[in-house]
Amino acid sequence: MMDKKAGFLKVMSTVIILTGASILTSCENYIWSPPEIPEEVVISFSEHIYPVCNDCHDTWDLERTYEKLTGKLDMADPESSAIFTIHGSILDNIMVQVDDDLSIKASDAIIIWAEDGAEFNK
């Protein structure tokens, strides 16, 4: 009788351990994908980009920040601009709130702004 009870406990222990292991190893992996940016989104230098730059360069005014940033922009190919070589990892990790429903990476905001002509809008 004792052997049946010990065998039963071994089987139940094994089932519990295997069930626990399967639960712990079967966690779903969630992959975050960035929001799709609508074509009509408008990026403002003073509202969206300047605050990001001002976090690091707080002594620069609006005009100086614009001059420094546009000096590092390749208007023909904004994605290959020097600003992304210098500050790429920072700009990829900062989110810009474009409107109530849309936040995008600061690097994407700069690219969109450059593609739209990089205007000095206040």
118 against 12, higher pLDDT? 118
Provide the pLDDT for residue 9.
79
Supply the pLDDT for residue 94: 92
Average confidence (pLDDT) over 107-120: 94
pLDDT tens figures, 31-87: 667 778 888 899 999 999 999 999 989 999 999 999 999 999 999 999 999 999 988
What is the spatial distance between Cα 19 and Cα 10, in angstroms, rounded to a whole number?
Answer: 14
Residue 6 has pLDDT above 90, yes or no: no
Give the mean model confidence (pLDDT) for residues 86-113. 91
CA–CA distance, 43 with 6 (Å, rounded to integer): 71
Mean per-residue pLDDT, 19-41: 73
Count of H-run helices and E-run strands, the chain: 5, 2
